[in-house]
Amino acid sequence: MEKTRLGIVGLGWIAQVVHLPILLKSPDVEVVAACDMDRRRGKLVAEKFGIPHLYNNIQQMLDGVDLSAVIVATSTDAHKEVTLASLRAGKDVLVEKPIARRYSEAVEMAEAAKAHKRKLMVGMNHRFRPDTMILKSFIEGNELGQVYFVRTGWLRKRNIDTSWIVQKDISGGGVFLDLGIVMLDMALWMMGYPVVKRVGASHYNHKTHQVEDTSLVSLTLGNGSRIHIEVSWSMYLEDDLYFCHVFGSDGTATLNPLRVNKELHGSLVNLAPAKIESPQHLFKRSYENELKHFLGAIRGVHTIVSTADEAVQRMRVADAVYRSARLGKEIVLT
C-alpha cells in the first residue's frame, strides 16, 4: 500500500506527545513535513522525529511538498486560517478541538470543506476511548432504555496556566472551550446528537482574568431530556475527576470506571466488562483509534466521524453557553 503523506502544523505539546509518536509507528504513514512559527522549536522537533521538510509558513508548506492530508495542532486562533489554506490546496484535514474560537469561524470552515470537496474531521478523541465506545454500544443496543439525563464533567486540580489557552483573543474562551466542549460532544454523541433547545450557564474566574476557569452548564434537549456539564481548571482536588453518568429508563451507566447497571431478576447487575484499562492507556488508545480512523477515512475505507457539520452544532451551543453566562439568563435556541 502506498504510504499516506502527512503534514503537521503546530509542534506543541499535543503534536510532540501524541500525534507524532503514534504516526511514526504506523507503517502506512509518512510524516513528510511540519510547520511551526517558532523556528527553534520547529528545528528541534523535526530533528527529533526525523521530519524531512520544515516550514514556518503554511502556504509554503502546501506549495513545497506533496501531501495527502494535514493535521492542524496549532493554537485555536490559527485553526481557521490553516484549515482553509489546506482545504483550498486540496488536502483533507484533521483539526484539533475546538474547531475554532466561535460559531461563525466554524461555519466558514465547514462550508469550505464542502466547496472544495474535502474531508474535515475535528479531533474529539474521547469518542475513541475504548470505554466510551463500549458505553455507546450499550446505549445503541437499548440496554438503558430511554436516556433522559446525562451528567458529565472534567474537574482538574488547581493549576495556574499562563499559556495561550488563558488569552481570550487566542483561545476564544476558557475551560468550557478546552474541556467542556469535549464533554458536550461526548454526551450529544452518546445520545444520538439530539437537538439542543435551551442553554443555561454560570462561569467563574477564580484564578484567571480573561477567561473562565470553571463552567457549569445545563442543556434542555428537544425531546425533554437533560445534560449537565461541570468543568474546571481550578478545583482543590488531590486528583483530577473525569466522569460521565448516563441515566435511562431501564438502567444507569457510568464512566471512569465503566459500569452498566440494570435490574435483572430483582438484583442490580453490572453488565460492563470485568477488565478495564488504566486511564493512561485509555488516553493513549483514544488517540491511536482517532488517528487510525482519520487515515482510514481519507483512504476511503469508511465515512468520517466528528465532522465539521457536527462541530458547527457544538459551536452553536458553545456560543449560547457564553451568552448565557455573560447575560445571566437562559438562552433559547431556535
DSSP string computed for 100-153:
-SSHHHHHHHHHHHHHTT--EEEE-GGGGSHHHHHHHHHHHTTTT-SEEEEEEE
- Report the pLDDT value the prediction gives residue 264, as an integer from 0 to 100: 87
- Backbone φ and ψ of 64, nearest 5°: -95, -15
Residue keyed to cell 503537521: 8
Residue keyed to cell 501524541: 18
- Backbone φ and ψ of 275, nearest 5°: -100, 120
Residues composing the chain: 334
The residue among 22, 107, 36 whose CA lies nearest residue 75 is 36
- Report the pLDDT value the prediction gives residue 160, as an integer from 0 to 100: 64
Cβ pair 247, 147 in contact under 8 A: yes
- Report the pLDDT value the prediction gives residue 151, as an integer from 0 to 100: 98
- Report the pLDDT value the prediction gives residue 330, as an integer from 0 to 100: 98
- Report the pLDDT value the prediction gives residue 277, as an integer from 0 to 100: 76
The residue among 27, 106, 122 whose CA lies nearest residue 71 is 122
- Report the pLDDT value the prediction gives residue 159, as an integer from 0 to 100: 77
The residue among 176, 182, 156, 177 whose CA lies nearest residue 76 is 177
- Report the pLDDT value the prediction gives residue 112, as an integer from 0 to 100: 98
Q: What b/e readout covers 6-39, taking b as 16+ CB neighbours within 10 angstroms?
A: bbbbbbbebbbebbbebbeebeebbbbbbbbbee
Domains and CATH numbers, the chain: 4-126+288-307 (3.40.50.720), 127-277+313-332 (3.30.360.10)
What is this structure's pTM? 0.95
Tens-digit pLDDT string for the chain (334 aa): 689 999 999 999 999 999 999 999 999 999 999 999 999 999 999 999 999 999 999 999 999 999 999 999 999 999 999 999 999 999 999 999 999 999 999 999 999 999 999 999 999 999 999 999 999 999 999 999 999 999 999 999 987 666 899 999 999 999 999 999 999 999 999 999 999 999 999 999 998 999 999 999 999 999 999 999 999 999 999 999 999 999 999 999 999 999 999 988 888 998 888 777 787 888 999 999 999 999 999 999 999 999 999 999 999 999 999 999 999 999 999 8
If one counts every other C-beta atom within 10 angstroms of the C-beta of residue 116, the result is 16
CA distance 97 to 71: 12
Q: Is the dihedral of CA 140, 145, 149, 152 positive or negative?
A: negative
User: Long-range contacts of range 234-240, CB-CB < 8 Å, 24 or more positions apart?
Assistant: 234/156, 234/158, 234/159, 234/206, 234/207, 234/208, 235/155, 235/156, 235/157, 235/158, 236/157, 236/158, 237/155, 237/156, 237/157, 237/158, 238/157, 239/157, 240/154, 240/155, 240/156, 240/157
Cβ pair 191, 150 in contact under 8 A: yes
- Report the pLDDT value the prediction gives residue 163, as an integer from 0 to 100: 87
